[in-house]
Structure 1
Amino acid sequence: MKKIVLACLSVMLAAVFLAGCGQDQNQAASSSSSSDKGGKIVVGLDDNYPPMGFRDENNEITGFDVDLAKEAAKRLNREVEFKPIDWSSKEAELKSGRVDVLWNGLDITEDRKKNMLFSDPYMDNRQILFVTKGSSINTLADLQGKTVGTQSGSTGEENLNKDQALKDSLKEVKAYPDYIAAFMDLENGRIDAIVGDEITGRYYMNKHPDKFEARDIVIGDVTSFGIGFAMDNKSLRDEVQKVLDEMKKDGTMAQISEKWFGKDITKKD
């Protein structure tokens, strides 16, 4: 009787073990399909970064990059999900697989190339100064002893950190979770200037023309926006790049640009 009981227990344990293995394999297969076998594409973005990606009056995520991603996913016959993330932790989000791509005014830099794959650049961007209307700040020298804001984890912050002489001349550099918060503090006099993306800053400035001005003072090198992918996800990068090239060739990318900026400011080569 003991032998029969032991035999039955062995069979039961083996069945449970095999079922567990099968479930794990199915889960793994399901996970891998999300990014490289035609499943849903999860886009990581800062949802407070107009006009690239932000929430409208109905709390819906919209923007230039959002429209690009939707059109790309449509052409790939794939679902797309937009997942707001802490932009200063974007590399970790991508590496962990919590998002499949970073698509939100992401500057292509040499440091970032060490941690992710990029699409071809599709738009140029500069980091310039934004000040309040009528500000006496007109040159870099005028920033001496002033408090400057920028977004945490942004190219603006990177450029300020690289220019040690400029940074040392400032009273303080304040890093914000997003540029909207920085502009609010600028308006309220808590900071004296912002170093930020020209495209985003001018968009916000144009919404409040009586409050802010741009200074054509470039901090750091001119950069280009690209889409970021995990280092081991070349297949998804190639899929997306293919449809981006199609969108550029047939004029769809230009149309989306005209919708958001009033003209086509995307790269042509």
Structure 2
Amino acid sequence: MSQTSRRHQQRVGWLRWGVAGLALLLLLVLLAVRLTEGPGFLFLRQDHTWQTMQARGSWRVGMDPSFPPFEFLDEQGNPTGFDVDLARHLAQGWGLRLEIAAMGYDSLLDAVKAGQVDAAISAIPYDPRMTQDFAFSEPYFEAGVRLVVRQGSPIQAVADLAGRRVAVEWGSLGDMVGRHLQREDIAMELVPYATPQEAVDALVNDITIDALLIDNVTLREAQGQGAPIVAVGPALESNPYVIVLPLPASQLQEKVAQALQAMATDGTLAELEARWFGAP
């Protein structure tokens, strides 16, 4: 074999090894990225939030205790409410103590992101714009806008609102939904009120008011106080409350998802709603 042929074979060999080495390096880089960022990729990825909770023996949850009946302070200054019971039920199911970190609503997401709390549960609506920074549970309460009528009303759907007078809280999401329906050629008259309670009272006491567009929280509070009103049809504008979790906390996310599904299936969520709002 000539010297030129040997040099050519050496160069081909070096090229093959170089390509193979480059491919291996690229594979290692991709694997490192997936192990640190990709959700649930391979068994090597660890959930440090869940590990910290286990070592600490507690689940640390951020709440703003100023929104009854979801979270507020009782006469002794202790947090109580729907969300407190929800968080405690989850923690007990994992064999952990519940630690509540009280803070302002605007600080909750920052606290989750900084690792100051393991989660935030505080009547927080789902926000698709934040999914790059946080993980969200499945909804545990639907707070969206409902079409509400007096018991026994012939109105059973949005289409029945034509020619009707509909109460709304001025400037609320219900008001916005009503204006949207008007643009969709539902010929109804919107009657604005200063507060949600005034809008509810108008439906109950004023026979000229035929229906009400109101959020589900206000509806359930009114029903719990004995107002003879009912919701008809599905939510007209969804506003689900969710649990906010750290984005890398894949194991905690899975645990929360399993627990909420079990609570929905066995009726625990319905029991919490009945406890804090009363019977519908």
Give the aligned residue type for 2:112: L
- Structure 1: gaps (5+ residues): 1-29, 129-137, 151-155, 164-181, 184-196, 210-219
* Structure possessing the higher radius of gyration over alpha carbons: 2
Q: Which residue of 2 aligns with 1:60?
A: 78
Closer, same or farther in 2 for the Cα pair 1:31/1:238, shift >3 Å? closer
2:84 is aligned with 1:75: no
Q: Which residue of 2 aligns with 1:247?
A: 263
Mapped partners of 1:208, 1:123: distance in 2 = 19
Mapped partners of 2:89, 2:167: distance in 1 = 41
Compute the displacement of 1:221 (Å).
3.6
Alignment RMSD (CA, Å):
4.4
Mapped partners of 2:49, 2:82: distance in 1 = 29
Compute the displacement of 1:39 (Å).
3.1
Mapped partners of 2:110, 2:88: distance in 1 = 24
Query: Any idea what SS the aligned residue of 1:238 has?
Result: helix
Compute the displacement of 1:247 (Å).
1.9
Identity %: 24
2:136 is aligned with 1:118: yes
- Is the contact between residue 34 and residue 41 of structure 1 (CA under 8 Å) also seen in structure 2? no
Q: Which residue of 1 aligns with 2:36?
A: none
- Is the contact between residue 224 and residue 278 of structure 2 (CA under 8 Å) also seen in structure 1? no
Mapped partners of 1:257, 1:208: distance in 2 = 14
Closer, same or farther in 2 for the Cα pair 1:103/1:247, shift >3 Å? same
After alignment, is 250-259 or 99-108 more displaced? 250-259
Query: Any idea what SS the aligned residue of 1:49 has?
Result: coil
- Is the contact between residue 95 and residue 230 of structure 1 (CA under 8 Å) also seen in structure 2? yes
Closer, same or farther in 2 for the Cα pair 1:237/1:38, shift >3 Å? farther
TM-score, normalised via structure 1 length? 0.54
2:250 is aligned with 1:234: yes
Mapped partners of 1:31, 1:232: distance in 2 = 8
Compute the displacement of 1:57 (Å).
2.2
Compute the displacement of 1:37 (Å).
5.7
Mapped partners of 1:260, 1:207: distance in 2 = 8
Closer, same or farther in 2 for the Cα pair 1:241/1:90, shift >3 Å? same
Closer, same or farther in 2 for the Cα pair 1:206/1:252, shift >3 Å? closer
Mapped partners of 1:242, 1:251: distance in 2 = 14
1:15-74 CA distances to partner (integer Å, 9 max, x unpaired)?
Answer: xxxxxxxxxxxxxxx987333667311111110011111112222111111111111111
- Is the contact between residue 91 and residue 97 of structure 2 (CA under 8 Å) also seen in structure 1? yes
Give the aligned residue type for 1:261: F
Q: Which residue of 2 aligns with 1:258?
A: 274
Match of 1:41 among 47, 52, 59: 59
- Structure 2: gaps (5+ residues): 1-47, 147-165, 181-194, 197-213, 227-235
Counterparts in 2 of 1:112-261, with a 5 A limit?
Answer: 112-126=130-144, 198-202=215-219, 221-261=237-277
2:117 is aligned with 1:99: yes
How many pairs does the alignment contain?
A: 187
Mapped partners of 1:74, 1:122: distance in 2 = 18
After alignment, is 200-209 or 56-65 more displaced? 200-209
Q: Which residue of 2 aligns with 1:8?
A: none
